């Protein structure tokens, strides 16, 4: 009989083994020992700009006898965001390959009960901004090849919101910078810490483009290749198709190359055809990975 309960310290070894099994096919991964699992999966609070209120009561496992079949991690937004009602986030859902789908159903049902107890109305599942530092360069994810989990999400009332693609660029040499023809441009940049770089492009007095890069220190250490991720890329609608985005991305890549980075990763929405085209033109490769983001309104379920 399958039983749903909270994660216990004695589960850490089995839970880390289950996670390692689930991430083995991802483009970038490493084997987590139980201590790393505790720090990087349980105590990690997501991206710097999204403060999550972590709660051990939201770390749920499905067990059958002594065997751990699956795990789900749910959190809510921190109080500093002053959200009323609070926003719920489902960060992680893993299931052993041979586990019955009833285990995933039980985990999601118990997660709903947790959210209702905390007066959560809306849930977002597997959003990139709630990702873990040790998975996909900090991205949240639900493996696209786990059709059983995708089915369980649908049965639980989750609606597909976005599908994500992942791209990488090997920085083997400087990228030729093609300057935009628009006059009156001004480039500002900031490197507040060694792990963060930002560029802004201003036209006259208005910011028209912005790019934000983050060093992926853990991934760099584990793969012995300095790696950064492109976490934010914006060009104002009225200034698109003028070469601004292309040049800003080339400038960012050259800055990384000068700092001896050898790899740049980013995720984009699958509907962003213009961005996909730009990345391919600049030598990015699409990785064999699909990520999915879901939403659920508890009032409708």
**Rounded-to-integer distance, Cα 291 and Cα 146, Å:** 11
Task: Give me the residue spans of the domains in the chain.
Answer: 2-165+290-300, 173-261
Give 287 or 17, the one with higher predicted confidence.
Answer: 17
Q: How many CB atoms lie within 10 A of CB 133?
A: 18
Q: Does residue 133 surpass a pLDDT of 80?
A: no
pLDDT band for position 235 (50/70/90)? confident
Domains 2-165+290-300 and 173-261 share a fold: yes
Choose the most confident range, by mean pLDDT, from 106-110, 211-215, 216-220. 106-110
* 168 beta partners: 265, 285
**Rounded-to-integer distance, Cα 223 and Cα 184, Å:** 42
Report the chain's mean pLDDT, rounded to a whole number. Answer: 87
Burial class (CB in 10 A: 0-12, 13-18, 19+), 28: buried
Q: Does residue 30 surpass a pLDDT of 90?
A: no
Q: Does residue 138 surpass a pLDDT of 60?
A: no
CATH class of residue range 2-165+290-300? alpha beta
Kindly give, in sequence order, each residue whose CB lies less than 8 Å from that of residue 261, ignoring residues fewer than 6 positions away. 171, 215, 226, 227, 228
* 173-261: CATH superfamily: Gcn5-related N-acetyltransferase (GNAT) (3.40.630.30)
Give 49 or 240, the one with higher predicted confidence.
Answer: 240
pLDDT per position as a tens digit, 86-130? 889 999 999 999 999 999 999 999 999 999 999 899 999 998 888
pLDDT per position as a tens digit, 196-208? 899 888 888 788 8
Q: 3-state DSSP helix/strand/coil percent for the chain, to nearest 5?
A: 35, 35, 35
Structure tokens of 226? 């300095």
Range 156-184 average pLDDT: 88
């Amino acid at each position: 009989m399958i039983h749903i309960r909270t994660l216990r310290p004695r589960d850490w070894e089995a839970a880390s083994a289950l996670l390692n099994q689930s991430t083995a096919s991802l483009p970038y991964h490493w084997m987590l020992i139980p201590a790393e699992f505790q720090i990087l999966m349980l105590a990690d609070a997501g991206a710097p700009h999204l403060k999550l209120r972590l709660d051990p009561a939201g770390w749920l496992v499905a067990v059958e006898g002594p065997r751990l079949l699956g795990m789900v991690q749910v959190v809510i937004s921190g109080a500093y965001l002053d959200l009323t009602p609070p926003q719920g986030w489902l960060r992680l859902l893993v299931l052993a390959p041979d586990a019955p789908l009833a285990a995933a159903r039980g985990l999601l049902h118990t997660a709903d009960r947790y959210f209702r107890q905390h007066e959560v109305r809306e849930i977002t599942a597997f959003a990139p901004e709630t990702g873990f530092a040790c998975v996909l360069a900090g991205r949240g994810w639900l493996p696209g090849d786990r059709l059983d989990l995708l089915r369980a999400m649908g049965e639980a009332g989750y609606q597909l919101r976005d599908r994500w693609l992942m791209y990488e660029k090997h920085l083997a040499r400087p990228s030729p910078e093609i300057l935009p023809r628009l006059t009156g441009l001004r480039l500002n940049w900031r490197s507040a810490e060694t792990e963060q770089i930002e560029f802004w492009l201003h036209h006259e007095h208005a910011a028209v483009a912005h790019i934000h890069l983050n060093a992926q220190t853990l991934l760099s250490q584990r793969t012995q290749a300095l790696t950064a991720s492109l976490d934010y890329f914006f060009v104002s609608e009225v200034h698109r198709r003028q070469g601004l985005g292309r040049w800003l991305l080339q400038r960012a890549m050259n800055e990384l190359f000068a700092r001896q980075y050898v790899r740049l990763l980013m995720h984009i929405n699958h509907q962003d055809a213009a961005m996909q085209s730009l990345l391919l033109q600049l030598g990015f490769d699409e990785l064999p990975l699909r990520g999915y983001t879901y939403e659920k309104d508890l009032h409708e379920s």
